[in-house]
Structure 1
Amino acid sequence: MSNEQSNRGVVYKGAGKVAVESIAYPELAMGKRKCEHGVILKVLTTNICGSDQHMVRGRTTAEEGLVLGHEITGIILEKGRDVEFVDVGDIVSVPFNIACGRCRNCKTGLTGICLNVNPSRPGAAYGYVDMGGWVGGQSEYVMVPYADFNLLKFPDPDQAKEKIKDLTLLSDIFPTGFHGCVTAGVGPGSTVYVAGAGPVGLAAAVSAQLLGAACVIVGDMIPDRLEQARSFGCETIDLREDGSMEDKIEAITKEREVDCFVDCVGFEAHGCGCGQSHEEAPAAVLNSAMQVTRAGGSIGIPGLYVTEDPGAQDEASKQGALSMRFGLGWAKSHSFHTGQCPVMKYHRGLMQSILFDKVKIADAVNVQMISLDQAPQGYADFDGGAAKKFVIDPHGEFS
């Protein structure tokens, strides 16, 4: 492949702004050395994520010029000399976590906190602030390192294209929602509360159903998103309405607590209902979780919390220091599980669930395909609360 080939990508231009611009065509290189364990992908689909929105809103320390995008599905165009088990022409899902496969964390399945792919902290991702400087995949072409370890090959290329709207979600939000449920202890007969009906929250709700939950309750303040949750059998709570969370849960389950709680909101949470103002309250969901989760229950936290939030309303929150009622969680013997989802722990099994029609994840999160040039409008619509998961089709193959 010629390095002079064209490439375009979605670029962060400062708070509230993204643009589609010409960017460098990827090389099989890491810094100044050849990346023989990597591949170059033609991007088939790449999704806009709520985590991207945190950056685009100016709520992180992301620098202008960052090429966005960590949810990538593509076809291999070129591979390095050391890549043995995937080949040119394979259609693959790319976990948003970049992992070396060699460090102590990777060897135990903790691929979200790989020790070798980010000089500043454990864990890396494509196109994300503080995640190692890797070029993002909201583009026409992208380089993926450690390809044999990272990539999930789809067994049938034609079937993969037919189910691309579902399979594209394996790079992040489906495993992330599933991970939130697993770490919250969801199993057959569980009652589950999912905070947030954005795409990850909806993916978590579907995951809870897949895991056998008896009742899945989704809370949000956006009516269209709540309607989307109801479309596949969830109960819903409109958080704009006053009244205690316990009363609202009791009206659904006849009990005032749930077995499992999944936080799919993160640090841009707002106070809601119960006489609260609707102003930002970054610990609101975490405090609610301790309030309504049964003693001995678990709280899964796939929602993003950051170490630096320049847009926060107080100095403590700007450093990621939140005012949590942690003593309540201690008194109730709660378990908390945080951090990036280790996508590879789940993506093969979830792929099989899609291929054998056990789950309709694209319908649940309401996938809408858009072109690369429509990406800025997709970001704007998503920021406005659209009950959709925007999936970019950079080459117009699925429109």
Structure 2
Amino acid sequence: MPGNKAIAYREPGVVEVVDIDYPTFELRDGPGVNPANVGRKVPHGVILKTVATNICGSDQHMVRGRTTAPPGLILGHEITGEVVEKGSDVEFLDVGDIVSVPFNIACGRCRNCKERRTGICLNVNPERPGSAYGYVDMGGWVGGQAEYVLVPYADFNALRFPDRDQALEKIMDLTMLSDIFPTGFHGCVSAGVEVGSTVYVAGAGPVGLAAAASAHLLGAAVVIVGDLNPDRLAQARSFGCETVDVSAGPVGDQIAQILGEPEVDCSVDAVGFEARGHGADASTEQPAAVLNSLMEVTHAGGSLGIPGLYVTGDPGAATEAGKVGSLSLRLGLGWAKSHTFTTGQCPVMKYHRGLMKAILHDKVEIAKAVNAQAIPLEEAPTGYQAFDEGAAKKFVLNPNGYIRTS
């Protein structure tokens, strides 16, 4: 039986490469595993040899110590892999298939799954609706920043790529299907982006850049991306976005310089709860700043897509209210402008097959948009540090050498 190296969270600011058990078709006890899930049999699962697994901004929240993640938690919810073993109940996948795995873990049987709301499956997390690999309070399913990983309910969850050689050729794009591409796309769809829309995306990290690329794919006339980081803003401009530096003054004033008016049709929050203030307040953390600014710059009757992460427990928050996820929202403004808000995990399976086709038929270059860079698993700690320092890159881990880097 092969070994299994993985990336574990140790303490705020520290991740390390560790040796863990090779997966079996049973969920074992370990850091973050819900006690009610220990011993859960998974005959409906597959074991994947990881082809690509990505560092995500949501992982970074945990690594910064901004959640209640326990030491030793194996990280990673963005998984693409090759089936090397299958459980006795798996019918439609075969050893050798290469698949994309949605970060949402979904049973396919509950009411929400049958209604395509796979981000809030009722059966995989005993604590609350919704689950994910390698994430705090999400049931304890072992993360995929590893050489091998178990995927439950595999016939339902896994998206098989139709051609192995084509998949490996486009793997740097296809690896984005597990999370950030559908998440950014969902932010745009829920914001109402359509042909001719003017769109403001707050945040030029990987999800924000994926949202901007999605807005182009959906036919937006103008896509404006806001951030504090000049390198990330330059990355947004590299594929046709306009940009605003939120530290330079009111977002609406800068949008007016681009559009001739201070409002957009649609807006997307790709920042989440670690938001900073705008203008003179850009150096301070203000978790409601992005949402309040989006209400200001979105036209009356418009919608806000909110794929940015907000949490119920933030031990690093500056206020007691922030520690339980309470924000000082200008809800009266949103009410007065009849805004619609869409929050929560992206239901990846609602979008990933169509986005796969867009990649395979050269309609989008998502890896180029987010500036993806492959690194060995052993360099994950360096990747986390660079990402935390604001690198304008999406780091893709290459645990088993499938990705050609030369």
**TM-score interval w.r.t. the shorter chain?**
over 0.9
- Please state if 1:379 is matched with 2:384: yes
Q: How far 1:95 sits from its partner (Å)?
A: 0.2
Distance 1:340 1:323 in 2: 22
Choose which of 18, 23, 47 in structure 2 pairs with 1:40. 47
- In structure 2, give the amino acid aligned to 1:12: Y
Q: Deviations over 1:167-188 (max 9, x none)?
A: 0000000000000000000000
1:98 is aligned to 105
1:166 aligns with 173
- Structure 2 partner of 1:227: 234
Aligned equivalent of 2:368:
363
Residue 271 of structure 1: aligned partner: 277
SS at match of 2:11: coil
Whole-Å separation in 1 of the counterparts to 2:181 and 2:202? 16
Aligned pair 1:115/2:119, yes or no?
no
Partners of 1:28 and 1:348 lie apart in 2 by: 27
Rounded Cα–Cα distance in structure 2 between residues aligned with 1:286 and 1:278 = 17
- Structure 1, residues 255-295: CA drift from partner, whole Å, max 9, x if none? 1100001000000000021x335200000001001111000
Alignment deviations for residues 6-41 of structure 1 (CA, whole Å, 9 cap, x no partner): 100000001000000101110011333542100000
SS of the aligned residue for 2:61 comes to: helix
Match of 1:20 in 2: 17
Choose the corresponding residue for 1:281, options 286, 296, 302. 286
**Equivalent position SS for 2:72:** coil
How far is 1:397 from its partner? 2.5
Residue 85 of structure 2: aligned partner: 78
Aligned residue pairs, count = 394
- 2:263 corresponds in structure 1 to 257
Report whether the alignment pairs 1:140 with 2:137: no
Q: Quote the Cα distance in structure 2 between the aligned partners of 1:79 and 1:306.
A: 34
Is 1:340 paired with 2:337? no
Q: Percent identity over the alignment?
A: 71
Tell me the CA shift for residue 238 of structure 1: 1.1
Aligned residue number for residue 314 of structure 1: 319
1:131 matched residue in structure 2: 138
- Unmatched runs of 5 consecutive residues or more in structure 2: 28-37
Matched-pair contact (CA < 8 Å) for 2:263–2:299: yes
Secondary structure (helix, strand or coil) at the match of 1:29 reads coil
Q: 1:145-168 deviations in whole A, cap 9, x for unaligned?
A: 000000000000000000000000
Amino acid at match of 1:16: G
Of 371, 387, 393, the match for 1:388: 393
Corresponding residue SS for 1:53: helix
Give, as a single letter, the amino acid of the residue that structure 1 aligns with 2:277: G
- Long gaps (5+) in structure 1: none
Contact 2:246–2:282 (Cα < 8 Å) also in 1: no
The ranges of structure 1 where at least 4 consecutive aligned residues each deviate by more than 4 angstroms after the TM superposition are: none
Q: Write out aligned runs for 1:175-324 (5 A).
A: 175-242=182-249, 244-273=250-279, 275-324=280-329
1:143 alignment partner, SS class: strand
Q: In 2, Cα distance between the equivalents of 1:392 and 1:91? A: 16
Give the C-alpha shift of residue 350 in structure 1.
0.1
In the aligned structure 2, how far is the partner of 1:101 from the partner of 1:189? Answer: 36
TM-score (ref. length: structure 2): 0.96
Q: Report the TM-score, using the length of structure 1 for normalisation.
A: 0.98
What CA distance in whole angstroms lies between the structure 1 residues aligned with 2:134 and 2:233? 30
How far apart, in 2, do the equivalents of 1:41 and 1:277 lie? 43
Shift of 1:240: 2.0
Instruction: Measure, in 2, the Cα distance between the counterparts of 1:203 and 1:327.
Output: 30
Aligned equivalent of 1:87: 94
Q: Residues of 1 paired with 2:278 and 2:39: CA distance?
A: 51
Q: Is the 8 A contact 2:247 2:282 kept in 1?
A: no
Q: Deviations over 1:275-317 (max 9, x none)?
A: 3352000000010011110000000000000001000000000
Structure 2 contact 101–157 (Cα < 8 Å) conserved: yes
Aligned partners of 2:329, 2:278: CA distance in 1, in Å? Answer: 16
Q: Is the CA contact (8 Å cut-off) linking 2:7 and 2:146 kept in structure 1?
A: yes
Q: Which amino acid aligns with 1:29?
A: E
- On the 8 A contact 2:110/2:122 being kept in 1, the answer is yes
Q: Given that residues 275 and 288 in structure 2 are in contact (C-alpha distance below 8 angstroms), is that contact kept between their aligned partners in structure 1?
A: yes
SS at match of 1:6: coil
